[in-house]
Amino acid sequence: EAGVAQSPRYKIIEKRQSVAFWCNPISGHATLYWYQQILGQGPKLLIQFQNNGVVDDSQLPKDRFSAERLKGVDSTLKIQPAKLEDSAVYLCASSLVAGSVGEQFFGPGTRLTVL
Amino acid sequence: RKEVEQDPGPFNVPEGATVAFNCTYSNSASQSFFWYRQDCRKEPKLLMSVYSSGNEDGRFTAQLNRASQYISLLIRDSKLSDSATYLCVVNRGYSTLTFGKGTMLLVSP
């Protein structure tokens, strides 16, 4: 079974530029998560989708971050404009069960460096 | 108080040692608890769920103390391959998770 796919794996941009990340969850998984993991920290939830609806985006900095999950499958996370403190690994995860806590399967992440 | 707190370590132990990690959580309404493992520059992976009665999976034992809002992970007979960061995870809300900062374990020959 294919795992969670993410691209790109690495991205280097200058502050104030825009960047987008893509995620393809495991087939059939209803719930998709985007996390930000800063070096030395645990993953921090940015946004959670159930199918194509948003369940939780309370920790998403909405002035610069946006995310969508069209058709309840793939998802994109965008940062516009980027700040130095956005340098982190952006992890996408998916889980099979909708509406309850189940095992989350993570993708390899996108490592973003903002100069 | 942070939602999930862990000692960041690192814990340096020799092969064959027994090591224990602790974690405290602030939300008394939390119902689901997990330990995830994260290798260096890799994604987190579920190690085990933590049940009220305690549970064991091979060399790994997890315990939950709801009264003290405390979770533990015990690793017996440590292997070199156990070197990783162990993330304590607690549910926040209906289906979302909060991750601790993680505890780093280094097992040496």
- Residue pLDDT, tens place only, A69-92: 988 899 999 999 999 999 999 999
Phi, psi of A77 (to 5 degrees): -120, 130
pLDDT of res. A72: 83
- Residue pLDDT, tens place only, A27-72: 999 899 999 999 999 999 999 999 889 999 999 999 999 999 988 8
Question: Within an 8 Å CB–CB cutoff, is residue B2 touching chain A?
Answer: no
Lowest mean pLDDT among A92-101, A104-113, B77-86: A92-101
Please identify which residue in the block is written with the tokens 């030395």: A40
Q: What is the dihedral of CA A52, A58, A62, A63, to 10 degrees?
A: 170
Interface contact flag, A56 B43, Cβ < 8 Å? no
Question: Within an 8 Å CB–CB cutoff, is residue A110 touching chain B?
Answer: no
Question: Within an 8 Å CB–CB cutoff, is residue A101 touching chain B?
Answer: yes
Question: Within an 8 Å CB–CB cutoff, is residue A50 touching chain B?
Answer: yes
pLDDT of res. A100: 63
Q: How far apart are CA A8 and CA A30, in angstroms?
A: 23
> Which residues 50-69 on chain B approach chain A with CB closer than 8 angstroms?
none
Q: pLDDT 10s digit of each residue in chain B, 109 long?
A: 789 999 999 999 999 999 999 999 999 888 899 999 999 999 999 999 998 888 999 999 999 999 999 999 999 999 999 999 999 999 877 678 999 999 999 999 9
The answer to whether the CB of A32 falls within 8 A of the CB of A23 is: yes
Look at residue A99 and tell me whether its pLDDT is greater than 70: no
- What secondary structure letter does DSSP report for B68? T
